[in-house]
Structure 1
Amino acid sequence: MIRFSLHCAQEHEFEGWFRSNDDFDTQSKKHLVTCPVCGSHKVEKALMAPSVTTARQKDKMAVAMSKMVNELKDVARKVRENADYVGADFAEEARKIHFGEADQRGIYGEASGDEVKSLLEDGVDIMPLPTFPEDHN
Protein backbone atom coordinates (compact mmCIF):
# COMPACT_ATOMS: atom_id res chain seq x y z
CA MET A 1 0.00 0.00 0.00
CA ILE A 2 1.13 3.52 -0.78
CA ARG A 3 0.07 6.57 1.18
CA PHE A 4 -0.40 9.70 -0.89
CA SER A 5 -0.79 13.25 0.34
CA LEU A 6 -3.71 14.64 -1.65
CA HIS A 7 -5.41 17.98 -2.16
CA CYS A 8 -8.57 19.07 -3.92
CA ALA A 9 -9.30 22.08 -6.11
CA GLN A 10 -10.31 23.95 -2.92
CA GLU A 11 -6.83 23.24 -1.45
CA HIS A 12 -8.16 20.91 1.28
CA GLU A 13 -5.33 18.56 2.23
CA PHE A 14 -5.86 14.91 3.18
CA GLU A 15 -4.29 11.47 2.76
CA GLY A 16 -5.30 8.38 0.82
CA TRP A 17 -4.01 4.80 0.67
CA PHE A 18 -3.77 2.99 -2.67
CA ARG A 19 -2.32 -0.28 -3.91
CA SER A 20 -0.22 1.55 -6.50
CA ASN A 21 0.15 4.77 -8.43
CA ASP A 22 -1.94 3.21 -11.22
CA ASP A 23 -4.65 2.35 -8.69
CA PHE A 24 -4.88 6.02 -7.68
CA ASP A 25 -5.02 7.08 -11.34
CA THR A 26 -7.75 4.56 -12.16
CA GLN A 27 -9.89 5.52 -9.15
CA SER A 28 -9.37 9.21 -9.81
CA LYS A 29 -10.47 8.91 -13.46
CA LYS A 30 -13.63 7.10 -12.30
CA HIS A 31 -14.30 9.93 -9.78
CA LEU A 32 -13.97 7.49 -6.88
CA VAL A 33 -11.46 9.70 -5.08
CA THR A 34 -13.21 12.59 -3.36
CA CYS A 35 -12.26 15.28 -0.89
CA PRO A 36 -13.59 14.37 2.57
CA VAL A 37 -14.18 18.05 3.34
CA CYS A 38 -16.03 19.37 0.27
CA GLY A 39 -16.71 16.24 -1.81
CA SER A 40 -14.79 17.53 -4.84
CA HIS A 41 -13.69 14.93 -7.40
CA LYS A 42 -10.86 17.18 -8.59
CA VAL A 43 -8.19 15.56 -6.44
CA GLU A 44 -4.47 15.57 -7.15
CA LYS A 45 -1.41 14.17 -5.44
CA ALA A 46 0.60 16.70 -3.47
CA LEU A 47 4.38 16.67 -3.29
CA MET A 48 5.59 14.35 -0.54
CA ALA A 49 8.93 13.71 1.05
CA PRO A 50 9.84 10.02 0.91
CA SER A 51 9.31 8.08 4.09
CA VAL A 52 12.69 6.79 5.21
CA THR A 53 13.05 4.64 8.30
CA THR A 54 16.35 4.94 10.12
CA ALA A 55 18.02 2.19 12.11
CA ARG A 56 17.20 4.08 15.31
CA GLN A 57 13.52 4.25 14.35
CA LYS A 58 13.55 0.52 13.56
CA ASP A 59 15.07 -0.20 16.97
CA LYS A 60 12.40 1.91 18.70
CA MET A 61 9.70 0.16 16.69
CA ALA A 62 11.09 -3.28 17.58
CA VAL A 63 11.14 -2.36 21.29
CA ALA A 64 7.55 -1.05 21.08
CA MET A 65 6.38 -4.17 19.24
CA SER A 66 8.09 -6.43 21.78
CA LYS A 67 6.45 -4.51 24.64
CA MET A 68 3.04 -4.77 22.97
CA VAL A 69 3.40 -8.53 22.41
CA ASN A 70 4.45 -9.03 26.03
CA GLU A 71 1.42 -7.04 27.23
CA LEU A 72 -0.88 -9.15 25.03
CA LYS A 73 0.70 -12.31 26.43
CA ASP A 74 0.12 -11.00 29.95
CA VAL A 75 -3.55 -10.28 29.23
CA ALA A 76 -4.04 -13.75 27.69
CA ARG A 77 -2.31 -15.38 30.68
CA LYS A 78 -4.50 -13.47 33.16
CA VAL A 79 -7.68 -14.43 31.32
CA ARG A 80 -6.69 -18.10 31.27
CA GLU A 81 -5.84 -17.99 34.99
CA ASN A 82 -9.02 -16.20 36.06
CA ALA A 83 -11.71 -17.37 33.64
CA ASP A 84 -13.40 -20.69 32.95
CA TYR A 85 -12.51 -22.55 29.77
CA VAL A 86 -15.76 -23.60 28.06
CA GLY A 87 -14.28 -24.82 24.76
CA ALA A 88 -16.64 -25.11 21.80
CA ASP A 89 -19.59 -24.11 24.04
CA PHE A 90 -18.30 -20.53 24.20
CA ALA A 91 -21.08 -18.91 22.15
CA GLU A 92 -23.86 -20.72 24.00
CA GLU A 93 -22.37 -20.01 27.43
CA ALA A 94 -21.60 -16.34 26.62
CA ARG A 95 -25.19 -15.84 25.50
CA LYS A 96 -26.54 -17.48 28.71
CA ILE A 97 -24.38 -15.19 30.86
CA HIS A 98 -25.40 -12.13 28.84
CA PHE A 99 -29.11 -12.86 29.21
CA GLY A 100 -28.87 -13.76 32.91
CA GLU A 101 -29.49 -17.49 32.43
CA ALA A 102 -26.10 -18.33 33.99
CA ASP A 103 -23.97 -16.73 36.71
CA GLN A 104 -21.73 -13.81 35.73
CA ARG A 105 -18.16 -14.99 35.28
CA GLY A 106 -15.27 -14.74 32.89
CA ILE A 107 -15.11 -17.41 30.21
CA TYR A 108 -12.99 -18.22 27.20
CA GLY A 109 -13.17 -20.80 24.47
CA GLU A 110 -13.67 -21.18 20.74
CA ALA A 111 -16.33 -19.79 18.43
CA SER A 112 -16.84 -19.84 14.67
CA GLY A 113 -17.00 -16.65 12.65
CA ASP A 114 -20.79 -16.99 12.37
CA GLU A 115 -21.10 -17.48 16.13
CA VAL A 116 -18.97 -14.39 16.80
CA LYS A 117 -21.08 -12.33 14.40
CA SER A 118 -24.29 -13.54 16.05
CA LEU A 119 -22.98 -12.76 19.55
CA LEU A 120 -22.02 -9.23 18.52
CA GLU A 121 -25.43 -8.70 16.89
CA ASP A 122 -27.04 -9.77 20.18
CA GLY A 123 -24.97 -7.17 22.05
CA VAL A 124 -22.74 -9.70 23.82
CA ASP A 125 -19.38 -8.11 24.68
CA ILE A 126 -16.59 -10.41 23.52
CA MET A 127 -13.02 -10.07 22.37
CA PRO A 128 -10.55 -12.43 20.72
CA LEU A 129 -7.95 -13.98 22.97
CA PRO A 130 -4.61 -14.16 21.16
CA THR A 131 -2.68 -17.39 20.98
CA PHE A 132 1.08 -17.42 20.52
CA PRO A 133 3.37 -20.08 19.09
CA GLU A 134 4.69 -20.98 22.54
CA ASP A 135 1.08 -21.67 23.66
CA HIS A 136 1.25 -24.85 21.56
CA ASN A 137 4.36 -26.23 23.33
Structure 2
Amino acid sequence: MIIYELICPKRHRFEGWFSSAEDFDGQKDGGLLSCPSCGRHDIEKLLTAKIRTSGPDLLPAVRDEQGAAQDNTQESGDLQELIEYVLMNTENVGREFASEARRIHHHETPYRNIRGTASRRETEELLEEGIPVMALPIPPQSDWH
Protein backbone atom coordinates (compact mmCIF):
# COMPACT_ATOMS: atom_id res chain seq x y z
CA MET A 1 0.00 0.00 0.00
CA ILE A 2 1.29 3.48 -0.91
CA ILE A 3 -0.11 6.68 0.54
CA TYR A 4 0.32 9.87 -1.50
CA GLU A 5 -0.48 13.43 -0.59
CA LEU A 6 -2.29 14.91 -3.58
CA ILE A 7 -3.22 18.41 -4.73
CA CYS A 8 -5.56 19.88 -7.33
CA PRO A 9 -5.05 23.14 -9.27
CA LYS A 10 -7.22 24.94 -6.71
CA ARG A 11 -4.66 23.90 -4.07
CA HIS A 12 -6.99 21.51 -2.24
CA ARG A 13 -4.77 18.93 -0.55
CA PHE A 14 -5.90 15.41 0.21
CA GLU A 15 -4.58 11.90 0.75
CA GLY A 16 -4.85 8.97 -1.63
CA TRP A 17 -4.21 5.29 -0.88
CA PHE A 18 -3.06 3.06 -3.74
CA SER A 19 -1.97 -0.55 -4.00
CA SER A 20 1.15 0.51 -5.94
CA ALA A 21 2.73 3.41 -7.83
CA GLU A 22 1.42 1.82 -11.02
CA ASP A 23 -2.09 1.79 -9.54
CA PHE A 24 -1.86 5.56 -8.95
CA ASP A 25 -0.52 6.17 -12.47
CA GLY A 26 -3.28 4.04 -14.01
CA GLN A 27 -6.03 5.81 -12.09
CA LYS A 28 -4.57 9.23 -12.90
CA ASP A 29 -4.13 8.44 -16.60
CA GLY A 30 -7.64 6.98 -16.72
CA GLY A 31 -9.18 10.12 -15.22
CA LEU A 32 -10.42 8.18 -12.20
CA LEU A 33 -8.97 10.56 -9.60
CA SER A 34 -10.85 13.65 -8.51
CA CYS A 35 -10.51 16.26 -5.80
CA PRO A 36 -13.02 15.58 -3.00
CA SER A 37 -13.47 19.35 -2.50
CA CYS A 38 -14.01 20.62 -6.04
CA GLY A 39 -14.19 17.54 -8.28
CA ARG A 40 -11.27 18.54 -10.52
CA HIS A 41 -9.55 15.60 -12.21
CA ASP A 42 -6.11 17.15 -12.90
CA ILE A 43 -4.50 15.86 -9.72
CA GLU A 44 -0.76 15.93 -8.90
CA LYS A 45 1.34 14.17 -6.26
CA LEU A 46 3.10 16.25 -3.65
CA LEU A 47 6.55 15.34 -2.46
CA THR A 48 6.19 13.19 0.65
CA ALA A 49 8.18 10.69 2.60
CA LYS A 50 7.78 7.06 1.62
CA ILE A 51 5.38 5.25 3.95
CA ARG A 52 5.46 1.48 4.18
CA THR A 53 2.21 -0.08 5.33
CA SER A 54 3.25 -3.71 5.17
CA GLY A 55 6.03 -5.75 6.67
CA PRO A 56 7.02 -6.67 10.21
CA ASP A 57 5.54 -4.49 12.92
CA LEU A 58 8.48 -4.99 15.26
CA LEU A 59 12.17 -5.16 14.59
CA PRO A 60 14.12 -7.95 16.27
CA ALA A 61 15.88 -6.81 19.42
CA VAL A 62 19.12 -8.55 18.44
CA ARG A 63 20.51 -8.92 14.94
CA ASP A 64 23.35 -10.90 13.60
CA GLU A 65 26.18 -9.06 11.84
CA GLN A 66 25.07 -10.20 8.40
CA GLY A 67 21.53 -8.94 9.04
CA ALA A 68 22.84 -5.59 10.24
CA ALA A 69 25.07 -5.25 7.17
CA GLN A 70 22.12 -6.02 4.89
CA ASP A 71 20.01 -3.42 6.70
CA ASN A 72 22.74 -0.77 6.30
CA THR A 73 22.95 -1.53 2.59
CA GLN A 74 19.16 -1.28 2.29
CA GLU A 75 19.10 1.99 4.27
CA SER A 76 21.83 3.46 2.04
CA GLY A 77 19.82 2.45 -1.01
CA ASP A 78 16.65 3.96 0.47
CA LEU A 79 18.44 7.22 1.26
CA GLN A 80 19.93 7.39 -2.22
CA GLU A 81 16.48 6.73 -3.72
CA LEU A 82 14.97 9.52 -1.60
CA ILE A 83 17.71 11.97 -2.56
CA GLU A 84 17.34 11.16 -6.26
CA TYR A 85 13.56 11.60 -5.99
CA VAL A 86 13.96 14.99 -4.31
CA LEU A 87 16.48 16.17 -6.90
CA MET A 88 14.30 15.07 -9.82
CA ASN A 89 10.99 16.38 -8.45
CA THR A 90 11.89 19.75 -6.99
CA GLU A 91 13.12 23.09 -8.26
CA ASN A 92 16.33 24.37 -6.69
CA VAL A 93 15.70 27.95 -5.56
CA GLY A 94 19.00 28.15 -3.67
CA ARG A 95 19.29 30.83 -1.00
CA GLU A 96 15.86 32.20 -1.93
CA PHE A 97 14.21 29.18 -0.31
CA ALA A 98 12.56 31.00 2.61
CA SER A 99 11.16 33.85 0.51
CA GLU A 100 10.01 31.49 -2.26
CA ALA A 101 8.33 29.16 0.26
CA ARG A 102 6.43 32.15 1.66
CA ARG A 103 5.36 33.29 -1.83
CA ILE A 104 4.07 29.80 -2.62
CA HIS A 105 2.31 29.57 0.76
CA HIS A 106 0.60 32.94 0.22
CA HIS A 107 -0.42 31.98 -3.36
CA GLU A 108 1.75 34.75 -4.85
CA THR A 109 3.37 32.27 -7.22
CA PRO A 110 2.21 28.89 -8.58
CA TYR A 111 2.54 25.88 -6.29
CA ARG A 112 5.54 23.66 -6.94
CA ASN A 113 7.94 21.52 -4.94
CA ILE A 114 11.10 23.45 -4.12
CA ARG A 115 14.41 22.87 -2.42
CA GLY A 116 17.18 25.22 -1.38
CA THR A 117 19.05 26.50 1.61
CA ALA A 118 17.81 28.34 4.68
CA SER A 119 19.34 29.27 7.98
CA ARG A 120 18.11 27.67 11.18
CA ARG A 121 16.37 30.96 12.04
CA GLU A 122 14.64 31.13 8.64
CA THR A 123 13.51 27.52 9.02
CA GLU A 124 12.11 28.18 12.50
CA GLU A 125 10.28 31.28 11.23
CA LEU A 126 8.74 29.33 8.35
CA LEU A 127 7.50 26.65 10.76
CA GLU A 128 6.09 29.30 13.14
CA GLU A 129 4.20 30.79 10.16
CA GLY A 130 2.66 27.38 9.46
CA ILE A 131 4.73 26.76 6.33
CA PRO A 132 5.79 23.10 6.28
CA VAL A 133 9.49 22.61 5.61
CA MET A 134 11.87 19.72 6.11
CA ALA A 135 15.63 19.72 6.44
CA LEU A 136 17.23 17.17 4.16
CA PRO A 137 21.01 17.41 4.02
CA ILE A 138 22.07 16.10 0.62
CA PRO A 139 25.69 14.93 0.58
CA PRO A 140 27.78 15.25 -2.58
CA GLN A 141 27.04 12.41 -5.00
CA SER A 142 30.61 11.16 -4.63
CA ASP A 143 29.77 10.28 -0.99
CA TRP A 144 26.80 8.06 -1.92
CA HIS A 145 27.59 4.44 -1.15
TM-score (norm 2): 0.51
SS in 2 for 1:108: strand
Q: Using the alignment, how far apart are the partners of 1:135 and 1:114 within structure 2?
A: 30
Q: How many residues align?
A: 84
- Post-superposition CA distance 1:5-64 (Å, at most 9, x none): xxxxxxxxxxxxxxxxxxxxxxxxxxxxxxxxxxxxxxxxxxxxxxxx6xx623212221
Secondary structure of the corresponding residue to residue 85 of structure 1: strand
- 1:111–1:122: structure 2 CA closer, same or farther, 3 Å change rule? same
Is residue 2:103 matched to residue 1:109?
Answer: no
Aligned-partner Cα distance in 1 for 2:142–2:94: 16
Give the direction of change, closer, same or farther, for the CA distance of 1:136–1:110 in structure 2 (3 Å limit): farther
Alignment of 1:1-137 (within 5 A): 57-135=64-142
Task: Report the alpha carbon displacement of residue 69 of structure 1 after superposing the two structures with TM.
Answer: 2.1
Structure 1: unaligned runs, 5 residues or longer: 1-52
1:136 offset after TM fit, Å? 7.0
Mapped partners of 2:70, 2:93: distance in 1: 35
Bigger Rg, which one: 1
Larger helix share, 1 or 2: 1
How far does the alpha carbon of each residue in 1:86-133 deviate from its partner, in whole angstroms, 9 at most, with x for none? 000001101111121111001001111101111111111111223234
- Rounded Cα–Cα distance in structure 2 between residues aligned with 1:86 and 1:118: 18
